[in-house]
Amino acid sequence: MSLTPEQRIELHEFNNLTKSLSFNMYDICYTGTKEERERYIQYIDEQYNADRLTAILTKVTEIIGAHVLNVAKQDYIPQGASVTMLVSEGPVESAPKEQFEESPGPIPETVVMHLDKSHVTVHTYPEYHPNEGISTFRADIDVSTCGEISPLKALNYLIHSFDTDIMTIDYRVRGFTRDKTGHKLFIDHDINSIQNYIPDDVQEQFNMIDVNIFQENIFHTKAKLKDFDLNNYLFGTKKEDLTAEEQQKIEAQLKMEMDEIFYGKNIVKK
């Protein structure tokens, strides 16, 4: 369904569609000792503390055209952080036309536009395997909007804001709005795939799979980084300090962890 700008804004009262984006990113690391695990958790807590997460979400609200009404943020002990923002909407007539197109949004640079009864949240989950030395950092970001502009326009910025090995992305449009004649609209913009909101250079770095239910306006994409350099996954040691056997064992553990997260199930070792 392709709508003209005039059709987009000629609705009966408020646009009641709710558009929800859930972006989950995972960073995988090998921490061979208790001290390395503790330092990794400390590093993550410093890198993604509540203040930095607030700055990221503030930029997200700018991209989707929102005004921040309220911010609640918290750093947790022993680890993790959360930020929740309540946002409101301004007029969409001044929004650039490209905000309604099925294309990637901006990366971390300057953006201007203006959501109603909506929210943006982020929660972080650092954790580690009790026996195998694998540490995992997960960040869950949810962007829920009512109105014209899709939160998918914030996806490109979010991808560039985190170091990610695996991404799972969900997008859903709920409810309906009415045009001037009373005809229901269950979605008000074209979408073929979440991947169309991810730039080509990012797509080239990942293996991506879509699971979409078009008739229900539900879209799902998951992605796993293609390149694997062991040095990028070691915390507190270097590949050159390990024997060939140790390198092989650690690489197998890391790849197993990534595959299990990507496919969403435990994989039995052969």
The active-site residue, picked from 118, 135, 150, 161, is 118
| Active-site residue flag, 118 | yes
* Tokens read off for 54: 């607030």
Count of CB atoms within 10 A of residue 4's CB? 8
| Active-site residue flag, 161 | no
Measured distance CA(201)–CA(232) in Å, rounded: 20
Which residue from 108, 45, 47, 107 is spatially nearest to 77, judged by alpha carbons? 45
Query: Which residue in this structure is represented by tokens 């039995």?
Result: 268
Cα pseudo-dihedral 128, 134, 168, 125, rounded to 10: 20
3-state secondary structure of 4: coil
Phi, psi of 87 (to 5 degrees): -130, 160
| Active-site residue flag, 29 | no
Phi, psi of 209 (to 5 degrees): -130, 135
DSSP 94: T
3-state secondary structure of 117: coil
The active-site residue, picked from 29, 114, 119, 146, is 146
Q: Do 126 and 80 form a contact (C-beta atoms < 8 A)? A: yes
DSSP 154: G
DSSP 187: -
Query: Which residue in this structure is represented by tokens 């503790």?
Result: 38
Measured distance CA(16)–CA(175) in Å, rounded: 7
The active-site residue, picked from 123, 129, 160, 220, is 123
Residues recognised as catalytic = 118, 123, 146
